[in-house]
Structure 1
């Protein structure tokens, strides 16, 4: 049984060297933690989750069925809100991680994160806020173009954010409507722009107003026929500012 001064932490990774590295970081900088190591989330028990103050999940080695894996963590994040969840992810799954894993108490780290970044993230975990590593938000991380054969369609959350932007909503309003933080909505907008190879807000709005964007975001049904929508002088007005 844990002593009062000891905390319980869990490390989940399929990569042995990652387990060793994370274990070394915890032993050197957080000696008050007792750690248990697992291969996957399927090995977790309810008793372990109830005891845990920290769960570090390495998703960088996950290549197959990554959406299913993220969806397995989603109910755990909702149920165990007192846990600080730290997910280590690769660039390829960043948009999916933002969509499925972000909530207060969750931290997203890059699989190229320096040791200092990992230590800082764990140390600041008691703030109960959602955090995305600056490395994940850097231009080097976001602007690397995907090979054409790897381009994916927009996720449901990305499409929803772009659709609301196209209807004239602002980031703050979308965050309130979807009950998410401004940071999460901005991250979803940026990940959608990266998928579409759009480098500025001007390019984003031009795409939204294009025939392809209208069709992709199902904006025709919201504004009537495409030609009629294009002729509306106040199409960028906020919904709340329109008369009843």
Structure 2
């Protein structure tokens, strides 16, 4: 009788221990999952913007003038961009490996022209490509340039733990946006080539420096199916007194 009672108690003890282990394991999994998604989508975006600079400082930016030395598989070139917060931008690239430069004026996100012997309207895909080069504006306006955000998962890239968000761009295409969990800064954007949706282009932001109390990237790298394009900024001016709108319609 006594051995039977002892066996029953041992069996009950094992059951209790087993339930305890399962309960603790369940709690740990929930805690691990919770720790991976500490922030909501809005919190990820807002903390990134506030890391760049406080809202009052960001809202003071009315125009941005930039120039970068660039390297491509074909050779060196420079990229000059002047942007205003109303969507206007002037874009110019000068190449070392060909005589023709490329100039364009964007009136807003749906209208723009390439400048040459005559004005040529830009397609929505070309507008997207040019606006996609406005790297400093993108990090300052990430909540305006993208919509329908979703927090997908946390992902490690190049030794950095990132919040990974999915969002739609101005063409309605799906992009993946990465934010450093530690610094909160935007690290990468992956998006489909506007001319070939089967090709994903990866843009990486680094070398952040303070300019007019705002943290901005001074090095950008584009990886297009293994072809690398780098941008090293030699000039970043916010609210330039020399900023002027280029009225190409009256000039041509």
Higher RCO (Cα < 8 Å, 6 or more apart): 2
**More strand per residue: 1 or 2?**
2
Q: TM-score range by the shorter chain?
A: under 0.3
TM-score after normalising by structure 1: 0.23
TM-score, with normalisation over the residues of structure 2?
A: 0.22
> Which has the larger Rg?
2
